[in-house]
Structure 1
C-alpha cells in the first residue's frame, strides 16, 4: 500500500472517530447530586472490606466511575454482576476533582463472577510477601511486581508522590508502557532485537495477568503489544500505525475512554517512546553513552514518557516534581530486577516457601536502594503546583515539543 493511500485512510478514520466522539460527548447523560438511579453493572476491582461494610468501584450507565459503600451481605468479589438502586452524590477530592459515590444503596447479586480462584492466588501472594518482608518492602514489592495496592507507611507514600515515583507502585497504563520500554531496552543489551521485543511482549502479558487484568492495564497492554508487534515486522511508521489502530478501535468501541486519565497517559507515553526516544540514538556519542551507562536507557525512557505526559499530569493532579526525571533515571533500573526476582520468588514460594523466601532475600539490596533513593529525595522541596492550565498552553507545548523533535531528527 502506497504512503499516500495510507495517509488518506488514516485521515478518513480520524474523521469517523471525531464524529463518533463528538456524538458521544454531546449525548452523555449527566447525574446531578441527589439523582436516584437503578442500574446493573460489573464489579471492576476487588472490594475493600472494613467494619463499616464493603467499598467497590463500579461504572454508571454513562461509563462514569462511582465508588459505592454497601453492607457486607452478600460479600462481593471482582467480576460479580450486581444491580444497584440508590442516590448519586459527589465529594471534592484533594486535587479539586468531583468524585461520584453512592452510600449504602439497595443491591442485589445478579451473577457470581468467575475470578475468585485468581483472587485467592493474589491473597496468597500478599501473605507471602507480608510475612517475609517489612511493611515498606512488602507494599513496595507488591506494587512493583503485581500492581497490588497494599497498606503502605504514610511517610513513604508521600515521598513516592514528592519524587514522581508513584507510578511504579500503581497498576496504571503508563506503568505498562514504561515496563515494556525497560524490558525491551534490557533484553536488547544481550539479545537480538526481535527476541528482545518478543520477550517484552510476554513480559507485558505477564504483568497484565498479575495485575488482575484491570481495565486500564488491559488497554495499555493492547497498545504496547500492538506497538512492539509492529516493530517486529516494520520500522517506526509501522509502530505509529499500530498505536493509531489500537487507539481507534478502543475509542470507537468505548468513546468515554477519551476522558479517561489512564488511557491518556498510556497513549501519550507510548507515543513519546515511539516518536521522541529515537533522537537519543542519532548522535554516535550519545548512543555510546546510553549503551555504557547504567542509567542511560532508563533516562531516555523516563524522559520521553514524562515529556509527553507532563500536561496531563499537571491538569489532573495539579502538581509535578521537578526532580522526577532525575529520580526516575537513578531508581528505575532496579524495577526490572525487582520484578524478575519477585516473580521467581512467588512461583517458587507457591511450591516450597523456604526456596521462595531465599530468592526473595536476593531482592533486599535492590529494595533497600530504591527505598533510600525515595526517602532521601523525598525530603527535597521540588513540587510545582498549578491550579489551572489553559488549553492553548497545552496545544502550544505539544506543538513545540513535536517541532523541536522534527528539527533534531532533520539535522541528525
Structure 2
C-alpha cells in the first residue's frame, strides 16, 4: 500500500537521489575532474539506452532506465553543490576590496551589519574577480547609516575566518554561516571604506526592499509602535529586527513563533485575500488567465518583500502551480508540487537543505497534506464554529506531528498548549494581515486609515496578551529535551510506522513501531548514562567576566561573579545547550566575588572553594585574579593540577612557576591582549603547557 502511494508521486521519487547527492557532497569531498567524467558518462549511457534500446527490452527490465536516471540525479546534486560551495581562499590574503551589499543592512547598538559580495580584490597590484560572501560590521556614523542594498563600496581591511567561542555544546555559529556560504568577517572603522556607487543591485530586489521600508514608515505614521509595531513588521513583512527578547520568548513558549516567521501560512492568506478581491475575473477563460497572472505576480512580489525564505518560496511555487492548474482546468498533485518546489529551491540553493527553516517548512506541509484530512475526519461536529475550530486544531496537530522531532532536535523544547495557541494565533494572523492590507490601501484617507490602525493595534494587543497568558500556564513548555540526530530519524520512522499502522491496518507496522520504540529508548538511555557518570571541569570562553563550571553526575555548578549571574541572556546562551545535552537536572551559581571575601570553605555539590583555591574530587585548581598572589611565599612548590589566570592578575609567569608545581596554565578570555602576549611568550621560554581560551576555545577536562 505504501509503495503504491509513492508510485503515484513520480517527482517525489525523483527528488530523493538529487537530495542524496547534495548531502553526500556536503559531507564528503568529491574531486571535480572525477565528477565531470562520472556525470557525463552517466548522461551519455542514459541517452543511448533511452533512445536505442529501451523500446526493445523486456518490460521487466524497465528498472534499468530508472536506475540510470537516479544515478544521473545523484551526480547532478553533487555538481550543483560543488558549484555553490566553491570558495576563493586567496581573497582573504588581500586587504583592498570592492564589494556590493546583497541584503538590507541591520543596525546594531554600535555598528551597521552588512552582508557583502566581494566583486574584486587586489593582489600583487592585480585586480581579480570574486563572488565570496562576507559579513562586515561598519562603525555606526552618519555615512554608514545611509548604506543600502545594492551600494558598491571599496575598503581596506583584513578578513578573519569566522570562529566559534569553543564552549561545550554551544550554538555552532560557524556552521550556521557556512551553510549560508559565509566564512569570513571583518570590522571597518570610519575612514576605512568609501562609497563608489548606489543602486548596483538587482532592480526587482531593490524595489521590493525599498517598498518594505516605505510600508514600515506607513505603520509608524499611523501611530503603531512598541511591541505592536514589532509584531506587525515581523508578521506582514518578515522584519524581526524590532522584536524584544521577551516577546520572542513568549511566542516561542506558547507555540506561536511560527506566525512571526513569514511562511506558507502568510502566503496562503495573501492568496485568499487577492483571490477574493478578484472574484469578478472568474467568468471566462481569458479573465481567468489574467487573474492567474495578477495573483502570481503579487504572490512573488510579497515573497520578495519578505526576503524569499525557504517556506515562502516553497508556498509561492506551490500556489503558482495551483493557480495555473485552476486557470487551465487541471488540478496538479499536491505532493508533486511540493517535490517540484523543493527541487527548484535546491537546484539554485543546495545548502538550503541544511537550513532549519527549510526542514521545518517541508516537514510541516507534508504532514498537513497527509495527516490533516485524516485527523479532521475523526470528528464531524454539526456546529459551524466548532467545525472551523476542529479544522484549525487538525491543522495544528498535523503540523506538530511533522515538525516536533526537528523542533526538539534544534530547540530542545515542546509547547504543551500549541493547539490552544493556534486556535487564537492563526485567526489573529489572518485578521492582522487583512487589516494591514486595508491600512496600506486606504493610507491616504486619514479617517479610514485611523479605523484600520485602531483595530489592527488592538488585535495585536489581544494576540500578545493571549500568548503571554498561555506562556504563564503550568507546564506551558517542556524544556531541555535532548535527542540525537539518529534518535530524530528514528522518531520520523516511528511516526511513519504508526501512521501506516492506523490508516492501513497492517499488523507488520506494529512490529516495526515497537522495534523503533525500543531502539529510541535504548539509544537515549545509553547517552544519558554515559553523560551522567562523567565529571567535567570547564573554563568557558567568556570575554566579559570569568566563568567556570563543574559537573558532578546530574548537577552543575557555575562559578562566576555578580555581573554574569545577573545577565540572564548570557547565562542562557552559554549554558542552555550544555545543560540539555549533558542531562543536567540541577544547576546553581556560585558567586566567586562573594566567596573571596570569606575565610571559610564554601561547599556546593562535591567541590570546595576557598579564596583562590578550588578542589573537586582529586582535581586541584588555583585561580589567580588579583594582587594577593604577589604577597604569597612558600619554601616548597605547592602541588596543583591547573593554574587559571584571569582579569586582575598582575604578576608574572616566572613567579607562578616558583610557587606552584602544575600541569597546565589556563588563560581565560578576560586577560587583556597586551598581557596575553607577554604571558604566552614567557610560557614558551619556560616550556610551560598553556591553554589560551581566547584562541583555543574553552578549557575542558572530562573524566
TM range (shorter): 0.7 to 0.9
Q: Tell me if structure 2 keeps the 8 A contact 1:40–1:82.
A: yes
Residue of structure 1 equivalent to 2:17: 15
Pairwise CA distance, 1:340: 0.5
* Counterparts of 1:97 and 1:142, CA distance in 2: 28
Alignment partner of 2:490 out of 381, 392, 396: 396
Pairwise CA distance, 1:162: 1.6
Residue of structure 1 equivalent to 2:477: 383
Residue of structure 2 equivalent to 1:366: 459
Shift of the 387–400 alpha-carbon distance from structure 1 to 2, 3 Å rule, reads: closer
* Counterparts of 1:203 and 1:333, CA distance in 2: 22
Alignment partner of 1:326 out of 404, 411, 420: 420
Query: Structure 2 matches for 1:71-86, cutoff 5 A?
Result: 71=139, 73=143, 75-80=146-151, 86=159
User: Helix, strand or coil for the counterpart of 1:331?
Assistant: helix
* Counterparts of 1:324 and 1:36, CA distance in 2: 50
Alignment partner of 1:103 out of 186, 203, 220: 186
Structure whose residues are more often helix by fraction: 1
Residue of structure 2 equivalent to 1:335: 429
Moved more, 367-376 or 385-394: 385-394
The Cα offsets for residues 169-213 of structure 1, whole Å up to 9 and x where unpaired, read as 233xxxx22335567899999x99xx8x979978744642442x3
User: Helix, strand or coil for the counterpart of 1:362?
Assistant: helix
The Cα offsets for residues 277-319 of structure 1, whole Å up to 9 and x where unpaired, read as 1212434x33757874443332222222222111222222232
Query: Structure 2 matches for 1:194-209, cutoff 5 A?
Result: 204-205=299-300, 207-209=302-304
Q: Tell me if structure 1 keeps the 8 A contact 2:321–2:337.
A: yes
Q: Tell me if structure 2 keeps the 8 A contact 1:95–1:317.
A: no
Q: Tell me if structure 2 keeps the 8 A contact 1:162–1:378.
A: yes
Shift of the 183–152 alpha-carbon distance from structure 1 to 2, 3 Å rule, reads: closer
* Counterparts of 1:63 and 1:388, CA distance in 2: 39
User: Helix, strand or coil for the counterpart of 1:104?
Assistant: strand
Residue of structure 2 equivalent to 1:314: 408
* Counterparts of 1:205 and 1:159, CA distance in 2: 31
* Counterparts of 2:269 and 2:343, CA distance in 1: 26
Pairwise CA distance, 1:57: 3.7
Shift of the 297–145 alpha-carbon distance from structure 1 to 2, 3 Å rule, reads: farther
The Cα offsets for residues 88-134 of structure 1, whole Å up to 9 and x where unpaired, read as 23345996232456231576767622455544433333233234124
Moved more, 309-318 or 201-210: 201-210
Q: Tell me if structure 1 keeps the 8 A contact 2:376–2:391.
A: no
Pairwise CA distance, 1:7: 6.2
Shift of the 60–243 alpha-carbon distance from structure 1 to 2, 3 Å rule, reads: farther
Query: Structure 2 matches for 1:10-159, cutoff 5 A?
Result: 11=13, 13-27=15-29, 43-50=101-108, 52-57=110-115, 67-71=135-139, 73=143, 75-80=146-151, 86-91=159-164, 96-99=171-174, 102-105=185-188, 112-113=200-201, 114=203, 115-131=205-221, 132-159=223-250
* Counterparts of 2:131 and 2:374, CA distance in 1: 39
Residue of structure 1 equivalent to 2:264: 177
User: How many aligned positions are there?
Assistant: 397
Pairwise CA distance, 1:238: 1.1
Q: RMSD across aligned C-alpha pairs, in angstroms?
A: 4.4
Shift of the 96–203 alpha-carbon distance from structure 1 to 2, 3 Å rule, reads: same
* TM-score, reference length from structure 1: 0.77
The Cα offsets for residues 333-375 of structure 1, whole Å up to 9 and x where unpaired, read as 11111101111102211x2344322222233442232122112
Shift of the 251–210 alpha-carbon distance from structure 1 to 2, 3 Å rule, reads: closer
Moved more, 249-258 or 285-294: 285-294
- Stretches of structure 2 that go unaligned for 5 or more consecutive residues are 30-84, 120-129, 178-183, 283-290, 506-703
Moved more, 296-305 or 22-31: 22-31
Pairwise CA distance, 1:234: 6.0
- Stretches of structure 1 that go unaligned for 5 or more consecutive residues are none
RCO higher in structure (CA 8 A, sep ≥6) = 1
User: Helix, strand or coil for the counterpart of 2:112?
Assistant: strand
User: Helix, strand or coil for the counterpart of 1:170?
Assistant: coil
Q: Tell me if structure 1 keeps the 8 A contact 2:233–2:239.
A: yes
